[in-house]
Amino acid sequence: MTHPTITTVTQRIIERSKPTREAYLALIEREGGKAQDRTMVSCSNLAHAFAGAEQDQEALKTNAGPNIAVVSAYNDMLSAHAPYYRYPERLKVYAREAGATAQVAGGTPAMCDGVTQGEAGMELSLFSRDTIAQATGIALSHAMYDGMVLLGICDKIVPGLLMGALRFGHLPALFVPSGPMPSGVSNKEKQRVRQLYAEGKASRAELLDSELGSYHSPGTCTFFGTANSNQMMMEMMGLHIPGAAFVRPGSKLRQQLDRAAIHRVTELARAKARPLGHCVDEKAVVNAAIGLLATGGSTNHAIHIPAFARAAGVVIDWSDLAELSSVVPLVARVYPNGSGDVNHFHEAGGMGYVIRELLSAGLAHADVLASGADDMATYGEEPWLDDETLAWRDPGPSGDTEMLRPATEPFLPDGGMRLVAGNLGRACFKSSAVDPSRYTIEAPCRVFQTQSAVAEAFKAGELDRDVVVVVRFQGPRANGMPELHKLTPPLGVLQDRGYKVALVTDGRMSGASGKVPSAIHCSPEALGGGPLSLLRDGDVVKVCAVTGELSTTADLSTRTPAPDPEPEDGTGRELFAMYRLLADEAEKGASPMLAAAGL
Cβ–Cβ contacts within 10 Å for residue 40, how many?
Answer: 9
Residues shown for the chain: 599
SS3 111: coil
**Pairing mode, strands 540-544 and 549-552:** antiparallel
SS3 119: coil
How far, in Å, are 512, 513, 555, 581 from residue 487 at the CA level?
A: 12, 9, 28, 27
Q: How far apart are the first and last CA of the chain?
A: 33
Cα separation of 114 and 81, whole Å? 13
Q: Which residue type occupies 581?
A: L
Instruction: For residue 126, give every residue at least 6 positions away whose Cβ sits within 8 Å of its Cβ, in sequence order, or none.
Output: 156, 303, 476, 480, 481, 482, 508, 590
Query: Which helix (H) or strand (E) is 234 found in, with range?
Result: helix 226-236
Query: Which helix (H) or strand (E) is 324 found in, with range?
Result: helix 318-325
Residue 154 among known ligand-binding residues: yes
Cα separation of 454 and 446, whole Å? 9
Nearest to 402 by CA among 339, 321, 485: 339
Angle between helices 157-166 and 301-311 (to 10 degrees): 10
For residue 431, is it left (φ>0), alpha (ψ between -120 and 50) or beta? alpha
Rg (CA), the chain: 24
Q: Per residue in 551-570, is it b (16+ CB within 10 Å) or e — as a string?
A: bbebebeeeebbeeeebeee
Query: Which helix (H) or strand (E) is 386 found in, with range?
Result: strand 382-386
Number of helical H runs and strand E runs in the chain: 22, 14
Using a 10 angstrom Cβ sphere, with 0-12 exposed, 13-18 middle and 19 or more buried, the burial of residue 440 is middle
Annotated binding site for [4Fe-4S] cluster: 154, 221
Binding residues, by number, are 154, 221
